Structures are given as C-alpha cells and as structure tokens.
Structure 1
Amino acid sequence: MELELRHLKTIRAIAEAGSLTRAATALGLAQPALSTQLKRIERALGGPLFERGRQGVRATALGELVLARARIVLPAVSELQQEAVRFARTWDRQDELTVGGTHGPLLGGLVDRLAGSAPGLRVSTRTSWSEREIAEYVVAGRLDFALIGACGVAPPPGGGTLAWREVAVDPVFVMLADGHPLAARAEVRLADLAGEFWTDVPGDGCFADCFAAACARAGFTPAGVYETDTASCVHLVQVGRAVGLCRATFPTTPGMVTRPLTDSPLTWRHLLGWHPAAQPAQLASSVFTQACAAHATAAARSDSYTAWLTRPRGPAWGHNTGQRVN
C-alpha cells in the first residue's frame, strides 16, 4: 500500500484525539474500521505508530517522526490547493464574481450594483450565518469577496490571511411592534426593555456576549433570546412575542418599527474582505466602492436611521470609513 494524504490525516486525527474512539467519531468512522486502517498504515510504514493504553494512545518514536512530517506536508498541500484554486479563478473566470455574506440588507445591494456596473459580469452569491465560514471560503479560493459584519472592535475572521476594509460602522437598533408602548419614542433606553424576550439571527462572533454585557450594565438579564432566521425574527416582533436586535440599515416592514438605543451600547461594523493574492487591487477597490454605495442606499431607506444621523453626536456614524482592518 502506498502512503496517501488521507493516511496522514488519519494519523494526525488519532494523535489530536488521543484515542481511537474519539478519532473514529471525529472522522465519521466505526472504531473497528479505523483500527483496521491504522494497521494497514503501520504495515506500510514499517512499525507501530501508537502505543495503546488505558488513557488512550500515545505516539511511538516512529509515530512522532511521521507526525512531524505530516504537520509540514498537510498544510503545504492545503496551501498549494488553495493557491491553485485562486489562480484558476483569477485567470480563467474574468467574467464571473462570487460574493459571500452573512444575512442582511447589504449583500443584495452590492450584487445589484456589481451586476449593474458591468452588464457582462455574472455575479453569484453564497450566504451563511457564520462569518468564520464565509472567511474560510475566501481563504480556500471558493469565494472572491466576503461581505460580513463584526461586533464593536472585534477582529475579522481569517487569521490575518485576508485583506479587510471597513465599509461603515452602524449602531445596533431595536425592532418593536408598532403597538409597543415604546414605539413612539425617538430613542429607547436599553434598561426600559428589561423583562422583554428578544430575538436575533445567530452568528459565531462575539455579538451575543456583547449584548449580554450591555444588558448587565443596564441592570438586567434578558428574559430569553430566540435565535432564528430573519423572517421569523420579524414575525416574532410583529406579533409582540419579542423585541429584536437589528442593524440600523434594517428595512422596516408593516407592523413594526426600528428605534435607536440611547447612547448606542452596541455597534456593528460592515467589512469587505478578499485574498490579496487572488484579487487585483483595482478590482478590490471597485468592489469596495460599490459596497459603500450599497450601504449608503440602505441607510437612506431607513427613516429612523436617517433621523438618528441628523441628531448632534460625537464621532461620525454610518459614513464609509475606508479603514483597513488588520
């Protein structure tokens, strides 16, 4: 049997799991099948790779040698594959662009502006609740650009591999049923919402923790949070089952209003990311400009956001910053 990359991945998985049982679960295999596979790999390499004991498995000297090489080979092959994909996308797909994003009003606006700016350009999209997943797709060359959000000053995902520019910074608003007692206010204090149930879309950033911290500073703990899709969030707000958190650019619908929270305890940064080795600087600049325009259009469509922006305040809000994010 010749050694293959999948064999090295199996060895690495066993070492990281520390037991065949846990490794089998991680690999989606039955333990007997994994044990059989390991024996074939050991025969091909000339000796046992792991010592088995009550506490699990421990790499032998031969196993440590193989693992040391695997830790070099596997990342190198993965990087080669990603570079090849990026190269192919850059040179073979000049008339196509794939943009990934988390759910929100800006992705559709960006796609519309890109398609309108170049009639021959084919724009496709991919969405996910996970900002990290979208960034990973860009790193792997499966997406050209990522349009995501980050809470407050949280760093963007991607491990420093991607280039990021800040499209805009928005306050987080609250969604209320139009018959809610606080709906007539120009701004709502977070403390006045103590005792309410909340609804929000899921994500893998720090927003949930930041929200909990903001509530604690306001002197209460949320009664409960429904994490669900955007349409369900809106429905729960409309029927008075919950109040919702949303970006200031979120469009209002019949039966609900959006209102700013006093002193803006939560903020949301819109970020555009790409791999600098895959996208020409001119293209990245053009897509960024279109993302900024999409944000400006979305902001202008929100009466509550427009009114909020006209009030005196400190640092500029809602404007395209162009800031590069490390």
Structure 2
Amino acid sequence: MELELRHFKIICAVAEAGSITKAASTLGLAQPALTAQLHRIERALGGPLFERDRRGARPTPLGELVLARAKLLLPAVSGLREEAARFANNAALPGDTPARLRLGSATGPVLGGLVHQLNAVHPELEVTTHVSWSSEELAGMLADGRVDYALVGVCGDAPPPAQPGLIWRTLATDPVFVLLSTDHPEAGKAEVELSALAGEQWGATPGDGCFAECFAAACARAGFTPRTLYETDVVTCIDMVEAGDAVVLCQPMFREMPGVVPVPIAGNPLRWRNLVGWHPDSATASFADQLVKLAGAAYQDVIARRPRYSRFLERYPMYGVEGDRAAL
C-alpha cells in the first residue's frame, strides 16, 4: 500500500485523541473502519504504531518516529497548497481587480446579491462559489487558499471562526426571527413572545458555533425548555412550518411566501452577526474594500425587497448593515 497524506492525518489524530474511538469520532469515521485503516498503515510501515489497551492508544517508538515526520510533512504540504492556490490566482486585471474570485458562503440571500453586484460592476471578473453550512470549514478554506473571501455568520457576540491569520469584518447584525405558518395564532402579530411558543417543536438550518446553546438559554429566560430543535435544510424547514409540525428560527431576510411568515421575537433575544473574511496575504486581498462595499450593497438590496424587515429596522435601527468597519 502506498502511503498518502490522509494516512499521516489518521496517525496524528489517533495520537492527539489518545484513543481509536475518540479519533474515529473526530475524523467522522466508524471505529471499525478506522481500526482497519490503521492496521493497513502499520503493515505498510512494518510494525505497530500504537500500544492499545483499556487506557487508550500510546505511540510505540516506531509511532513516535512516524509522528515526528508527519508533524513536519503535513504543515509543509498545507503551506504548499496555500501558496500554489494564491500563485494560481495571481493573474489580475488592471488595478486592484483580480481576474477571478472564489467566494465561500454560509449565508444564502447575500451570496446571490453579491454575485449580481460583482457581475454588474466587474463583468469581466470570473466568479465561482462554494456553499457550506460550516463557518469553520469556510475559514479553513480561506486559510488554505481554496477560496478568496467567505461570508459567514456567528451567534451574538461570539468571535469569528478560530483560524489564525484571517481578517474579519462585520457586514451586518440581525435579530433572529421565527418562521410561522400563516395559520398559526401568533402569525398576524407584529412580534411574538418567545414564551407563547413554549409548546412548539422547533427547527433550524444546520450550523456550528454556540447558536443552539444561546437558543436554549433564551428559552430558559422565557420560562421553558424547548421540546425539540430539528436541524435540516431550508426546504424541509418550510415544509414543516406549512404542515404545522414546527416553528423555525430564521434570518429576518427570509423570503416571504404563501403559507409561511417570518415574525420578530419580542425583545430580540437572539442575534446573528454576518461577517466577511479573507487572508491578508492572498493575491486578492487588495480587493477587500471593494468586496465589502459590494456585499453591503447586496445586503441593502435584499432588505429593500423584504418589507417586513424594512419596517422592523425603522423601529430598531441598531440592526442591519453596519458598513465598512475596522477589522475585528
């Protein structure tokens, strides 16, 4: 068997976790599958890499040798990929406009608006997109040079994704609304008390960070414990709301459509900060000010097409687009 980088990542994961079971969970693998891979790696290297017993897994002398090499090899390859990606993206148009731009996003409405703005202002610019529910994944792609800019969201005052060396700017701060069926008793109100939804099943789109914990804390302050929080895609969320099976936590820019309505939560107990991030050493970093400006314009365009949120912002001007702020 030819050794590959993923094999060295497995060895490092087992060493860091100190357990095959914990490493399997970290890597998203079944424990038997990881054990089988580790056996194949050990056969390729000529001996056991870990002593395994009830207390966990500890490197053998051969394992220590391989780990030392892996800890040099993996960062070197990651750095090579990052430099190669930036070099490949280095061909630029006159001025600070790159020849192509790779956007990563965990936020739906703004990505489409930003692509529209870029096509309108820079029609010669080649734009590609990558969407993920994970802000941490997108931050990793920024750090590795696989995307040039990322649009992500974080809960309340939580810090940006924990990737060193990146710059993050706040694009907007929004409250979290609740999506209700138009037949729901609270649907016609200007805002709904969280306690009025104490008996409901809940839904939300997936995400990392502390949002689930912040939601549970908000419910506790309102005097109840939420029954369920389903994590699923947007289409399924809408179906569940229409069927009356759940109410869904949503962004205030959620498109209004027949059968469902986004409603503010009284007191705005949950907030969501929308960030734009990039690597300061990337070949496209000089385009950052323009990109943030166009993202803000895209955000404003979306808000203008959401009359319910526009009316909300008249009452709560501290929310919405924050403009081109200093780096966090």
SS, match of residue 70 in structure 1: helix
Displacement of 1:20 in angstroms is: 6.9
Q: Map of 1:1-326 to 2, 5 A cutoff?
A: 8-9=8-9, 11-16=11-16, 18=18, 31=35, 34-35=38-39, 37-42=41-46, 50-51=50-51, 55=55, 57-61=57-61, 63-91=63-91, 94-311=98-315, 313=316, 316-326=318-328
The verdict on how the C-alpha distance between 1:228 and 1:19 changes in structure 2, with shifts beyond 3 A counting, is closer
Which 10-residue stretch deviates more, 99-108 or 57-66? 57-66
The verdict on how the C-alpha distance between 1:283 and 1:65 changes in structure 2, with shifts beyond 3 A counting, is same
The verdict on how the C-alpha distance between 1:187 and 1:35 changes in structure 2, with shifts beyond 3 A counting, is closer
Partner amino acid for 1:164?
W
The verdict on how the C-alpha distance between 1:112 and 1:49 changes in structure 2, with shifts beyond 3 A counting, is same
Displacement of 1:320 in angstroms is: 2.2
Q: Residue 187 of structure 1 contacts residue 262 of structure 1 at CA under 8 Å; is this kept in 2?
A: yes
| In structure 1, distance between residues paired with 2:262 and 2:54 | 59
Q: Residue 102 of structure 1 contacts residue 128 of structure 1 at CA under 8 Å; is this kept in 2?
A: yes
TM-score, normalised relative to structure 1: 0.86
- Count of equivalent residues: 320
SS, match of residue 91 in structure 1: coil
Partner amino acid for 2:319?
W
Displacement of 1:280 in angstroms is: 3.9
| In structure 2, distance between residues paired with 1:95 and 1:255 | 43
* Aligned-pair identity (%): 50
| In structure 2, distance between residues paired with 1:257 and 1:52 | 56
What's the RMSD between the two structures over aligned residues? 3.0
Give CA-to-partner distance per residue, 1:197-216, whole Å, 9 cap, x none. 22211111211111111111
The verdict on how the C-alpha distance between 1:70 and 1:289 changes in structure 2, with shifts beyond 3 A counting, is same
Q: Residue 260 of structure 1 contacts residue 304 of structure 1 at CA under 8 Å; is this kept in 2?
A: no
The verdict on how the C-alpha distance between 1:301 and 1:97 changes in structure 2, with shifts beyond 3 A counting, is same
Partner amino acid for 1:297?
D
| In structure 1, distance between residues paired with 2:87 and 2:52 | 44
SS, match of residue 75 in structure 1: helix
Which 10-residue stretch deviates more, 55-64 or 178-187? 55-64
| In structure 2, distance between residues paired with 1:273 and 1:49 | 40
The verdict on how the C-alpha distance between 1:198 and 1:22 changes in structure 2, with shifts beyond 3 A counting, is closer
SS, match of residue 90 in structure 1: coil
| In structure 1, distance between residues paired with 2:194 and 2:23 | 46
The verdict on how the C-alpha distance between 1:64 and 1:271 changes in structure 2, with shifts beyond 3 A counting, is same
Give CA-to-partner distance per residue, 1:73-95, whole Å, 9 cap, x none. 32132122222212212337942
Partner amino acid for 1:140?
D
Q: Residue 97 of structure 1 contacts residue 144 of structure 1 at CA under 8 Å; is this kept in 2?
A: yes
Displacement of 1:322 in angstroms is: 2.6
SS, match of residue 168 in structure 1: strand
Q: Residue 279 of structure 2 contacts residue 285 of structure 2 at CA under 8 Å; is this kept in 1?
A: no
| In structure 2, distance between residues paired with 1:174 and 1:30 | 41
Displacement of 1:19 in angstroms is: 6.1
The verdict on how the C-alpha distance between 1:10 and 1:291 changes in structure 2, with shifts beyond 3 A counting, is closer
Which 10-residue stretch deviates more, 59-68 or 73-82? 59-68
TM-score, normalised relative to structure 2: 0.85
Displacement of 1:104 in angstroms is: 2.2
The verdict on how the C-alpha distance between 1:122 and 1:135 changes in structure 2, with shifts beyond 3 A counting, is same
Give CA-to-partner distance per residue, 1:87-117, whole Å, 9 cap, x none. 2123379422221111421111111111111
| In structure 2, distance between residues paired with 1:304 and 1:286 | 29
Partner amino acid for 1:64?
E
SS, match of residue 147 in structure 1: strand
